[in-house]
Structure formats: C-alpha cells, structure tokens
Structure 1
Amino acid sequence: MRLLECSPDGSFTRTEDLPANEDLEYAILSHTWGPEEVTFKDLVDGTDGDKAGYDKLRFCANRAIHDGLRYFWVDTCCIDKSNQVELNEAIISMFRWYRKAARCYVYLSDVSIAGCGRREPSEPWERAFRDSRWFTRGWTLQELLAPASVEFFARGGQRLGDKKSLEQPIHEITRIATAALRGTDLSQFDVDERFEWAKSRETTREEDWAYCLLGIFSVSMPALYGEGKQNAIRRLKREI
C-alpha cells in the first residue's frame, strides 16, 4: 500500500510502497470516477497538474490535515493499474484498507449546497444526496460498510454529516440493515441479504460486480478480467 503524505500548506507527495505491517493512521477517499482523474502515472511523471481530479486530492489533503492526519489514500493514483500483480493485490486488500482507515471521506461530486453550513432537512441537498450516483456504484458498497468513520461532503467541501447522523436516509436509499451500517460483523447477515445490497449497483467493468464483493463476504480470489460477469459471480459463490 502506498499513501499520499500531506504538508501543512495542503500540498502532498507520494510515499513509497509501505510494508503490510506498517501501522500508520490515514484518511481514505470514497468517490465516483470522473473523466479527469489523477492517475499513478500523473503523480510519478508530475504531469497534467491542471486535471479536475486534483481538486479531490486537495480536498482530501486539507481534510486530513484538519483531522490531524498526515497521510491519505485515493484509489485513482495510489494504485499502479498498469501492474496486474499490484492491481490484484489492491482488489483483494481494498476492504481491509477501508476498514483500517481512521476516516473515510465520501466526496459527492453531484451534491452541492446553496450557502455553506445550511443543513436544514428541507434543503435541496438532501434530495440530491438521495439521488447521488455514489449510491449506485458497486465499489462504494464496501466503502460505506468497511470503515468505522464515514463522513459525507458536498462538491464544495461542505460536510453534510456522517454515517451515524445520516443513518436513516442511507438505510432508505440502500435498504442495508441499520445494524450493518453501525458496524455489526457482516458475517452475521445472510449471504442472500448481502447479495441483495449489491443487486442494483453497477460497475464499469462487468467482472468488478463480483470482485467488489470480496470483502463483503471475507473471501479472496484473483481478478480475471475478460471472464465475464457471470463467470466471476460463479467463482465468487464457490469461494463463499
């Protein structure tokens, strides 16, 4: 696992790959991908500094500093996706990385607030929150359930609440049992119920629909892109 290290001025640098037993506190970002995400290659080469994705990285860095954290992790640029071995390791480790994070920041690019700090229940952001694309994606399921601390932020960086204060709308949107949202071990829930949580979610690569559930079921298997969604699901069910 490699992290991004914050400086007091809000800038950040990439760390080298850290050993698995390295015990560092870090924040982690949950988001939906856009067309101009910052990649691992961008950070290595120091290129494309004007990409829109840098706004998310700066948001995460500043929030981590605010919370007294020196390190943070973002999937778009902390994984070298050109390295198949590293990508496989990341897919298998993802649930654990989110679970170990001191804070998970959910950045909702399709939710905005008219006036910083306005959080009345009747505000339009709540409707946008319920309609957010974030709740429709496959990988964000484990990003919601694995961390103990999950905080939600609007596009402008305003804090909307956390998994506890927004529990009721999250439950209504996802139909996930409140006990699961509160951290009950996922093994306490039926296999069929856990599959139901993911039923309406989508992934860009069809096989990821199965791979994104590895941590939900506490199983491990290699990613074989090209095998197709149904073959990936069959392998997942055999592991369960």
Structure 2
Amino acid sequence: MRLLNIETLKLEEFVADPPPYAILSHAWEAGEVTLQDLDRPDVLALKPGWTKIVNFCAFVNRCRKGNRHAELADESMSPVRYIWVDTCCIDKTSTADLSESINSMFQWYRDAAVCFAYLSDVQCPEGQPSVTFEQSRWFTRGWTLQELLAPKSLEFLDGSWRHFGSRASLVDRVSQRTRIPLQVLVLGEWSRSCIAQRMSWAAGRQTTRPEDIAYCLLGIFGVNMPLLYGEGGERAFFRLQEEILKEFDDQSIFAWDASGIDETWGTIGALAPSPAYFADSLDVEAIPFMGRPMSSTKSGGSVVYLWR
C-alpha cells in the first residue's frame, strides 16, 4: 500500500501494517495527478489535482495538530502523518497493481483513521450544510458509494476545505438523497440488506469507464474478481452477479425491472445488464434459494444456472 507523507509530500510504500492514515473521497475532475506525475515537478505545477492533494495534506496536518477544526482534533488524528488518494497512490499503468488496489480498496477505506469527503461543488461559508449539499456531483459517482459506506468515520468538506458535518450528523439528509436506510448509515450494517437493495443504491450512479459500474461494487458485496477493462460494462456486471451467486443464498438478485430494455435486445436472461434496472428494488426482501446455484455455463450467448 502506498501512502503520501503529509509533510514531505513523498510516497512511501508499506507491505503490511500501514501506519494510521486519512483517506480522501472525491469526484474526479480534469487535471488529476497520477503516480507517475509525482516524479515530475514541472507537470505537477500545471495540474489542479496537485493543488487538491497539497490542500488535503495541509488540512489533515491542521487537524492533527489541533490548530484548526477543533471538533476533528481528537486522539485518533494525532498519529496521522499519511494520506491515501486514489489518483496518485495506485499505479494505473500496471494491470496487476490496479486489480489488487480495486479489490482491496473497500478495506482500505474501512481501515482508515478517518475519511474526508471533499465536495468541490459545495460552499458552506457558515460551517453549515447548504442547500447545494444534496446536489453535489459526489452523490452521483459510482466509486463514492463504497466511500460513503466503508469508512468508520466520514467527514464532509466543502470546496474551500471547510468542515461542515459528518455522515453521522447529516445522516437524515444523506439517507434521503441516497435512499440508503438510516440504520445502514448509522450502524454500518449493509450486509443485512439483500442483494437487490444494495444494487438499488447504485442505480443512479455513473462511472467514467463502463466496467467500473461493476468493479465499484466489489467491496459492498464482499467478492473479488479479475478486472478486464475493455470487456464492456454489461459483461463486467454479469460477471459480478455470477460471483455474487457463488456467495449469497438470496434470490433477490433476480428482482430487477426489465421493462426498460430495448426491444432490439433480444432474449432477456436472468441477470440484469446494470444496476440501473434495480432502481425500484429498494423494498425487496431476501428470499433463500431452494438449493444453491451450483455452476453456470454459456449456451447460445445466454447464461444457464444449475441448482442442486
């Protein structure tokens, strides 16, 4: 795991037992910094993403020392000297590194001392959440769903790096905006929600790369699978559901609405093409299989499931 030292602004690598770290949740924008950019000061100076990282380091350092944001300067912040940012702490030129990171990312957010959600399109000059909070692009992105659920502690920052609330203090508004039940946000017990319910939380979200609409849900379902960029979003989502079927005794995976599929699609199988088709599955309950899925095979382009 690579972490950025908030004082030296240099990456350090930890094979096991990383030190306490803060983690950033944000919606990507133009000019984000890659791992390779960190070795090129001339490139960094031109990228808005570098300003974001420097500001994040400065914010965490202030919280750690208690100079500002006294409400965040508790004992859990004092040992934090590192941060993790998805733009520059993953080597995206390495297929192996990218795959390992995405399959581990949910746990990395879970293990962070604190997660700060930076909402660049929100301004809260009085330190109170404005009406623009729910309109933030942060609520529309695929990856930020796991970043909302996984951390033990999640704090919100506006576009000027002002703290204006937490997942706990804003839980009613977050629940209304995301349709995620209060008890899930408060207690972090999403594992009690059935497959269809969890899929419905991702129904209105988008990702830049089509395959990521499946990959961003790996941690929420606790499954792993190889990443195959180029396979397409539908194929990636089918593979995700196949992995879920191996682990869950829950027929709600089939509780999706196919009425929106175009007539030219052809044969409609048992699995949904994307989370969007679970938009109305929020109130579905888990129903165990009468026997468990044993295997799957392809037959004429369709997936056939066999049960014991």
Q: C-alpha distance in 1, partners of 2:25/2:180?
A: 18
CA RMSD of aligned residues (A): 1.3
Gaps of 5+ in 2: 65-77, 245-308
Could you list the per-position Cα deviations for residues 123-152 of structure 1 after superposition, in whole angstroms to 9, with x for gaps in the alignment?
Answer: xx5221110000000000000000011010
Q: RCO greater where, 1 or 2, for CA within 8 Å and sep 6 or more? A: 1
> Does residue 106 of the first structure (1) align with residue 110 of the second (2)?
no
Question: Does the 8 Å CA contact 1:206/1:228 hold for their aligned counterparts?
Answer: yes
Letter in 1 for 2:153: S
> Does residue 216 of the first structure (1) align with residue 220 of the second (2)?
yes
Residue 184 of structure 1, CA deviation = 3.1
Letter in 2 for 1:12: L
Question: Does the 8 Å CA contact 1:145/1:183 hold for their aligned counterparts?
Answer: no
1:181 maps to which of 176, 182, 185: 185
Question: Does the 8 Å CA contact 2:110/2:150 hold for their aligned counterparts?
Answer: yes
Q: C-alpha distance in 2, partners of 1:178/1:59?
A: 32
Letter in 2 for 1:24: P
Q: Find the structure with the greater CA-based Rg.
A: 2
> Does residue 13 of the first structure (1) align with residue 24 of the second (2)?
no
Residue 71 of structure 1, CA deviation = 0.5
Question: Does the 8 Å CA contact 1:40/1:76 hold for their aligned counterparts?
Answer: yes
> Does residue 171 of the first structure (1) align with residue 169 of the second (2)?
no
Residue 48 of structure 1, CA deviation = 1.8
Q: C-alpha distance in 1, partners of 2:48/2:113?
A: 26
> Does residue 34 of the first structure (1) align with residue 53 of the second (2)?
no
Residue 73 of structure 1, CA deviation = 0.5
Question: Does the 8 Å CA contact 2:121/2:159 hold for their aligned counterparts?
Answer: yes
Could you list the per-position Cα deviations for residues 150-186 of structure 1 after superposition, in whole angstroms to 9, with x for gaps in the alignment?
Answer: 0101110111100000101100100001111123332
Matched residue of 2:133: which SS? helix
Name the counterpart of 1:81. 92
> Does residue 64 of the first structure (1) align with residue 60 of the second (2)?
yes
Letter in 1 for 2:38: L
TM-score, with length taken from structure 1: 0.91
Letter in 1 for 2:31: E
Q: C-alpha distance in 1, partners of 2:11/2:176?
A: 38
Residue 118 of structure 1, CA deviation = 4.1
Letter in 2 for 1:110: D
List aligned pairs for 1:38-49, cutoff 5 A.
38-49=33-44
Q: C-alpha distance in 1, partners of 2:32/2:84?
A: 14
TM-score, with length taken from structure 2: 0.72
Percent identity, aligned pairs only, is: 46
Q: C-alpha distance in 1, partners of 2:42/2:2?
A: 19
Displaced runs of 4 or more, over 4 A = none
1:199 maps to which of 200, 203, 219: 203
Q: C-alpha distance in 1, partners of 2:54/2:114?
A: 16
Matched residue of 2:156: which SS? strand
Q: C-alpha distance in 2, partners of 1:217/1:183?
A: 17
Question: Does the 8 Å CA contact 2:127/2:162 hold for their aligned counterparts?
Answer: no
Could you list the per-position Cα deviations for residues 101-129 of structure 1 after superposition, in whole angstroms to 9, with x for gaps in the alignment?
Answer: 0010111111113x4x342xxxxx52211
Name the counterpart of 1:4. 4
Aligned residues: 228
